[in-house]
A and B are shown apart, each in its own frame.
Chain A
Amino acid sequence: MFKLAIDVGGTHTDALVFDGNQGLLEFKTDTTPQDLRIGVFKACEKIAEHYGVSLKELLERIESIIHATTVSTNAVIQRKGAPVGMITTAGFADVVELRRGRRDTGLNVRVEFPRPLVPRYLRLEVKERMSHEGKIVTALDEESVRKAMEKLDREKIQSLAVAFLHSHLNPVHEKKAAAIIAQEWPDVEISLSCDVLPQIGEFERFSTTVLDAYVAPLVRSYLISLDERLRSDGFKGRLLIAQSNGGVATPEAVAQRPIWTIGSGPCGGPVSALYYARSVLNTRNVIATDAGGTSFDVTLIANGEIGTTTDDWVADQRIAIPMTRIHSVGAGGGSIGWIDSLGVLRVGPQSAGASPGPACYAKGGEEPTLTDAALLLGYVNPDYFLSGERRLEVTRATKAIEQRIAKPLRKSAVEAAEAIFRVSVANMSSAIREKVTREGYDAREFCLVAGGGAGPLVAAPIAQELAIRDVLVPNVASCMAAFGWLRSDIQYDFSHSMMIITVADPAQVDLEKITRLYEEMESDAVRMLKLQKERFDIYRSVEMRYDGQFRESEIPMPRKRLTARDLASVIQSFHKRHVELYTFSMPDRPVELINYRIKIVMETSKPKLEKRPVKTQPAKNMVKGSRNCFFLGRFHKTTIYDGNKLKPGHKIAGPAIVELAATTLVLPPGFKSTVDKLNGFHVQRR
Chain B
Amino acid sequence: MEKKIEPGLLSVIWNYLVTTAREMSNVLVRASTSVITAELMDHFVGIYDARGGMVAAHTVLPPIMGIGRFQVRDIVEKYRKDIHPGDVFIFNCPYTAHGTHLPDWSFAAPIFFQNELLLFSFSKGHQLDTSGAFPGGYFSGAYDIHAEGLCIPPIKLYSKGRLQKDLWDLLMNNVRFRQEQEMDIKTMIAALKTCEERCLSLFRKYGKKTVKTYIDHMYDVMEKSAKEEIRRIPDGTYSGESAADDDGSPQRYGVPVWVRCNVEVKGTRIKVDFSGSDPQVNFINSPWSNTHCYSCISIFTTFGPELALYHNEGSFRPIEVTAPERTVVNPRYPATVGACPVNVGTQIMFSVLQALGKARPERVIAGGVGNFHFAEWGVDRKGRRYFAGTFNGEGGTGAVCGHDGWPHLGPDSCFGALRKGNVEVIESRHPWIVRDYRLRTDSAGAGKWRGGLGVHVEWISDTELEHAIVTGPSDKITTRSYAVAGGEVQPPNEQYIIRARNREKEIVYGKRGPFFLEKGDIFIQNSGGGAGWGRAMERDPEAVRSDVLNGYISLRSAQEIYRVILDPETLTIDQEATQKLRGGA
Contact = CB atoms under 8 A, between A and B. Distances in A.
Nearest to B29: A551
Contact of A94 (B41, B401, B438): B438
Given A98-B407, A100-B422, A107-B308, A437 B428 contact: no
A328 B9 CA distance: 23
Nearest to B404: A113
Nearest to A410: B7
A230 to B, nearest CB: 42
Between A104, A165, A548, the greatest number of chain B beta carbons within 10 A of the residue's beta carbon is seen for A548
B22 to A, nearest CB: 7
B23 interface: yes
A147 interface: no
B276 interface: no
Contact of B307 (A132, A168, A342): A342
Interface stretch (A21-29, A77-85, A423-431, A510-518): A423-431
Given A109-B301, A430-B19, A102 B403 contact: no
Contact of B551 (A111, A120, A342): A120
B311 interface: yes
Most-contacted residue by chain A among B9, B11, B392, B435 (CB, 10 A): B11
Given A97-B407, A120-B551, A499-B428, A109 B8 contact: no
A120 B552 contact: yes
Contacts, number: 214
Interface string B2-20: 0000111111101110010
A106 B62 contact: yes
A341 B306 contact: yes
Contacts of A290: none
A119 interface: yes
A548 B437 contact: no
Nearest to B300: A107
A582 B8 contact: no
B59 interface: yes
A434 B425 CA distance: 29
B12 A111 contact: no
A121 B550 CA distance: 5
Contacts of A100: 419-422
Interface in A122-179: 131-132, 165-166, 168
Contacts of B410: 101
A342 B303 CA distance: 12
A438 B7 contact: no
Contacts of A343: 221, 224-225
A495 to B, nearest CB: 15
B304 interface: yes
B427 A132 contact: yes
B419 A101 contact: yes
B450 to A, nearest CB: 11
Interface residues on chain A, size class: 35 or more
A81 to B, nearest CB: 18
Given A101-B394, A101-B409, A346-B11, A502 B382 contact: yes
Contacts of B11: 344-346, 419, 422-423, 426
A111 B438 contact: no
Contact of A546 (B10, B33, B407): B33
Contacts of B303: 107
Nearest to A437: B23
A501 B485 CA distance: 54
A409 B14 CA distance: 17
Contacts of B400: 109-110
A548 B177 CA distance: 12
Contacts of A409: 7
Contacts of A97: 407, 439
A342 B221 contact: yes
A86 to B, nearest CB: 13
A549 interface: yes
A423 B8 contact: yes
A636 B417 CA distance: 49
Interface in B431-455: 433-439, 452, 455
Interface stretch (A200-208, A526-534, A673-681): A200-208
A313 interface: no
B315 to A, nearest CB: 10
Given A91-B435, A201-B425, A499-B428, A434 B35 contact: no
Interface string A66-101: 000000000000000000000000111111011111
A445 B187 CA distance: 24
Contacts of A346: 11
A537 interface: no
Contacts of B381: 132
A93 B222 CA distance: 44
A549 B33 contact: yes
A341 B228 CA distance: 9
A411 interface: yes
Interface in B542-585: 549-552
Given A101-B419, A103-B409, A203-B422, 15 more contacts: A92-B423, A94-B437, A101-B420, A102-B417, A104-B416, A106-B415, A107-B300, A119-B549, A119-B550, A168-B424, A342-B307, A343-B224, A344-B7, A434-B19, A437-B26
17 contacts: A98-B439, A100-B422, A101-B407, A101-B409, A102-B420, A105-B305, A107-B59, A107-B62, A131-B427, A200-B424, A204-B422, A344-B14, A345-B10, A430-B16, A499-B428, A581-B30, A586-B183
Interface of A: 90-95, 97-113, 119-121, 131-132, 165-166, 168, 200-204, 340-346, 409, 411, 418-419, 422-423, 426-427, 430, 433-434, 437-438, 499-500, 502, 546, 548-551, 581-584, 586
Sorted from nearest, which 9 A-B pairs have the closest CB atoms? A103-B416, A106-B59, A422-B8, A91-B436, A120-B550, A108-B308, A419-B8, A108-B305, A132-B427
